[in-house]
Structure 1
Amino acid sequence: MNLVPLAAEHVSGHALLPFSVYAADGRLLLPAHAPLADVRVQAKLGRQQALFVQRADHDAWRRGLARAVDKVMQSNASLSQLAQARPDPVPPVQAPLPGEEWEHVVLALDRAVQAARRDVGWVRAVQDVQAQMRAMVCRRVDEALFYFIHTGSRRTALYSSRQALRCMLIAGEAARELGWSEERIAVLDKAALTMNVASWQLQDELVCHVGPIVDEQQRAKIDRHPAEGAWWLRHSGVTDPAWLEAVQLHHDDSLAARAPSSLTPGQEMAHLLRRVDRYSAMLSRRAGREALSATQAAQQACLGTDGKPDPTGSLMLKAVGLYPPGCFVRLASRETGIVLARGERANAPVVAALLNAEGASMAEPRLRFTTQAKHAVCTAVSPGLVHVDPPLDRMQALHVYLKSNGPAA
């Protein structure tokens, strides 16, 4: 979001706020067309020390103001009339369709990696995607997790790109729980986006394949893709040892048996990515298999042989929650909903209820704070059992509301 500063007096004299106004951190303070005569609107404008507006809205408004002044001057109006000049209402800048901005990143990453065999510049393109994604998810991690987990449970198109971005998000949240620096997380991000470069196209094909892999060439390609991926990165100019090692070892089972203190930074990344890759795949749909529920995915990817989360599994569940954004759940109220955002506890997310207790679709999704006993999560639900798609525009609006107001009990 490209914001520019705005002084409150710039909009005085208008009946309605010409554009949406934001705080410095991107929080929406007032929507466009809010009535400026309303005392609550005035209080909010006066109380906020720094006001910001999207540059495109501001530029359109300034152009309209200039046209209005020119029009008054051409009519030989008095100075008082000139001071009263106001632009025509500014049409709102066309907002992206719900999910469109995330899909642009999916496509950009796919184009970058698909170019790996013909253009050594593909690594720079991947780094650009990583930087763009990190800028987009600032203060919007739950929204991003929601989109990539939910769409992964419904769509198989561009599977490799979606899986890479999903792994980047989940691994990044786990790394923050470990206290890793932002610089180190950036390397982890790039390893997540490139760890499957050597099997990218094959995975996009296999996700549409029903049944076990029978082609020995395909099996061999899958087995060698970590080493081959590291080779492609070196060939394309990557010299970061942690990035290269993370890609080369991200399927190495032996790392789990070693003491964490004995692992190099690249090996630590590889161990984390191996588990995240598996967990993320369980939450995704493929031909012949629906996506697993959140608890089923956790049981298969986060629990040890004793049925309890091991240290890495516990870390992942702490990072994204037992019920991550984008997963379906059933509540104590017998409503079925989709997780919008993580809560203060791993088992108490914020949910948008979609189906009522009788299983009928609600006219409007309803926020449910599962810290309340009447709305507590009873169980996770497999996406294949939920025959309604959450309206992404309403989900986006609820995410904006939560960002502005915070989770409430």
Structure 2
Amino acid sequence: MNLIPINIDSIVVGQPLPCALRDENGVLLAGKGYLVNNRLELQVMLGRRENVYIDFDQSDNFRRAYVNRLNNLVLEDRAIGQIADMQMSAYGAKRAAQAEFSGDPDWLDLQTQAHGILRDTNGDTFLPRLERLQTALERYTLRNPDGTLFALINLAAGEIRHYSATHAMLVCVVCSVAARDVLKWPDDQIKSMCSAALTMNIGMTDLHDRLNIQIEPPTPEQVKRIETHAPRSVDMLQQMGVTDDLWLEAVLNHRAQVPGPLAKRTPGKRLARLIQRVDMFAARLSPRASRPPDSPAAAMQSCYFDENRQIDEAGAALIKAVGIYSPGTYVRLNTQEIAVVVKRGLNTTMPKVAVLINRHGMVTGEPMLRETSQTEYRIVASVPHRDIKINHNLDRLLALTKPSASDRPW
């Protein structure tokens, strides 16, 4: 039994325990499913013990309950400091250490971090936490860009509640890949752009999430907040200590729909144009309560042409960077097999895929890799995420995204 300590405050009262609670010697205090009715009952059960433990093998169950607890605090409009301080003690530290050692990030944990950061208006904590998140995203993107794209696109395609956080991370990562690998922008500009991508909607984070689960069209008041959120975001960032002019200019202009070449723009507006194109792509790729997501090809096409129906330089860089069929999206092959894209290819339309459903409609025991550059395995159509009804092992698929000697050079 591999015991790890947890923060007592993260135990949700009034709901069945997601896993057993034990003392430091492994002695059972409360079994999985036990209902803790109130905090007093919890204190009586724990006695004078300073720590309570769970089995690491059951920690994912506890983690899901912990994330739900965070969500409830947000919905209850609790102080952001209280939400930020509610940590999982050594559990979170151990997971973070394991992720750093193995190179495999905990994407749900990063999503939870982003969710909290975008609601943190305390400058003393906001900037350091944002820096840590941005550094982690950069590290994972440089180490395994296909896996990072796969995880975030897969998460965005099925995410409704944490839309703003997931959307911000996806836009940040796609922008960084396009800027670094295609446009060849300098590192300092890429850093400013990624900061802007993560914070562009901070002036309407709560509304962003609410609109995603709202079936009715935006009200006039909501439309006004949407239209004015860019300058409001800049004001908030300045109040929290942001002095980077490129970052602030990119946030201020990230909704501007101004066609034309990138070279004729100021540096900040150049960053903003790429963010605007990627923002549009990511929004179309994500589901909402009021509409299904667009197909990857349709989302890409909307970014490829500008407001005058001409090829957009930033949109073209986006497509070249991540491909028409991005990692994490589903496709139908010429063989009638259904596959998920695991790696970008030398050609934007010919990625490497893993077959999940064979030509007879049966789930494969193990994902089978296919090179769609081969005529037999050419992609014939996108498949909506919602049409995939199987439960696949995400970790197993992410393992297929890791770089190999045969991958394209960047």
TM-score, normalized by the shorter chain, greater than 0.5: yes
Letter in 1 for 2:355: A
The one of 317, 332, 340 equivalent to 1:338 is: 340
Q: Distance in 1 between matches of 2:391 and 2:340?
A: 10
CA contact (8 A) 2:262 2:314 kept: no
Is the Cα–Cα contact under 8 Å of residues 286 and 293 in structure 2 kept in the other structure?
yes
Q: 1:94 to 1:268 in 2, by over 3 A?
A: closer
Name 1:146's counterpart in structure 2.
150
Matched, 1:104 2:109: yes
Distance of 2:110 and 2:128 partners within structure 1: 15
Match of 1:34 in 2: none
Please give the TM-score of this superposition, normalised by the length of structure 1: 0.71
- Distance (whole Å) between structure 2 residues aligned to residue 158 and residue 184 of structure 1: 28
Per-residue CA shift, 1:189-216, capped at 9, x if unaligned? Answer: 1010010101111111111111321x22
Question: Counterpart in 2 of 1:240?
Answer: 244
**Residue 406 of structure 2 corresponds to which residue in structure 1?**
406
Q: Is contact 2:342-2:398 (8 Å) kept? A: no
CA drift of 1:239 comes to 1.1
CA gap of 1:121–1:343, structure 2 versus 1, over 3 A, is: same
CA distance in 2, matches of 1:143, 1:223: 34
Q: Mind listing any 5+ residue stretches in structure 1 that lack a counterpart? A: 1-92
SS in 1 for 2:143: coil
Change (3 A) 1:248 1:101: same
Classify the secondary structure of the residue corresponding to 2:356.
Answer: strand
CA distance in 2, matches of 1:158, 1:127: 20
Aligned mates of 1:199, 1:354 — CA distance in 2: 38
Q: 275, 288, 295: which is aligned to 1:293?
A: 295
Q: The residue matched to 2:373 in structure 1 has which SS?
A: coil
8 Å contact from structure 2 (residues 138, 173) kept in 1 = no
Q: Decide whether aligned partners of structure 1 residues 157 and 183 sit closer, same or farther in structure 2, where only a CA change above 3 A counts.
A: same
Shift of 1:245: 0.4
The correspondence for 1:166, drawn from 167, 170, 193, is 170
Report if aligned partners of 1:123, 1:233 keep a CA contact under 8 Å in 2: no
TM-fit CA distance, 1:95: 6.0
Match of 1:375 among 377, 381, 389: 377
Partner in structure 2 of residue 260 of structure 1: 262
Q: Does the 8 Å CA contact 1:279/1:302 hold for their aligned counterparts?
A: no
User: More displaced, 338-347 or 305-314?
Assistant: 305-314
- Point out the more displaced range, 288-297 or 193-202: 288-297
Deviations along 1:14-44, one digit per CA (max 9) or x if unpaired, are xxxxxxxxxxxxxxxxxxxxxxxxxxxxxxx
The answer to whether structure 1 residue 329 and structure 2 residue 331 are counterparts is: yes
Mapped to 2, the partners of 1:308 and 1:391 lie a distance apart of: 41
Match in the other structure for 1:387: 389
Partner SS, residue 250 of structure 1: coil
Separation in 2, partners of 1:395, 1:99: 12
| CA distance in 2: counterparts of 1:182 and 1:130, whole angstroms | 13
Equivalent in the alignment of 1:250 = 254
Bigger mean CA offset, 358-367 vs 144-153: 358-367
Partner of 2:398: 396
Aligned equivalent of 1:185, options 190, 201, 210: 190
Cα RMSD of the aligned pairs, angstroms, is 2.3
Question: What SS does structure 2 have at the residue aligned with 1:193?
Answer: helix
2:172 maps to amino acid: M
Q: Name the larger-Rg structure.
A: 1
Q: For residues 286 and 338 of structure 1, what CA distance do their matches in structure 2 show?
A: 22
3-state SS in 2 of match to 1:374: helix
Q: Deviations over 1:87-123 (max 9, x none)?
A: xxxxxx996699861222111122122112x444312
Q: Is the 8 A contact 2:123 2:241 kept in 1?
A: no
Is the Cα contact below 8 Å between 1:159 and 1:203 reproduced in 2?
Answer: yes
User: Taking structure 2 as the reference length, what is the TM-score of the superposition?
Assistant: 0.71
- 1:212 is aligned with what amino acid? P
> Per-residue deviation at 1:386?
2.2
Stretch deviating more after TM superposition (357-366 or 381-390): 381-390
CA distance in 1, matches of 2:224, 2:192: 28
**Distance change (3 Å), C-alpha of 1:233 and 1:305:** closer
Q: 1:405 to 1:246 in 2, by over 3 A?
A: same
Q: Compared with structure 1, are the counterparts of its residues 99 and 210 closer, same or farther at alpha carbon in structure 2 (3 Å cutoff)? A: farther
Match of 2:275 in 1: 273
CA deviation profile, 1:164-195 (whole Å, cap 9, x unmatched): 00001111111121111122111111010010
In the other structure, the counterpart of 2:127 is 123
Counterparts of 2:376 and 2:309, CA distance in 1: 28
Name the CA distance, whole Å, in 2 between partners of 1:331 and 1:226.
42
Which has the higher mean CA deviation after the structures are superposed, 286-295 or 138-147?
A: 286-295
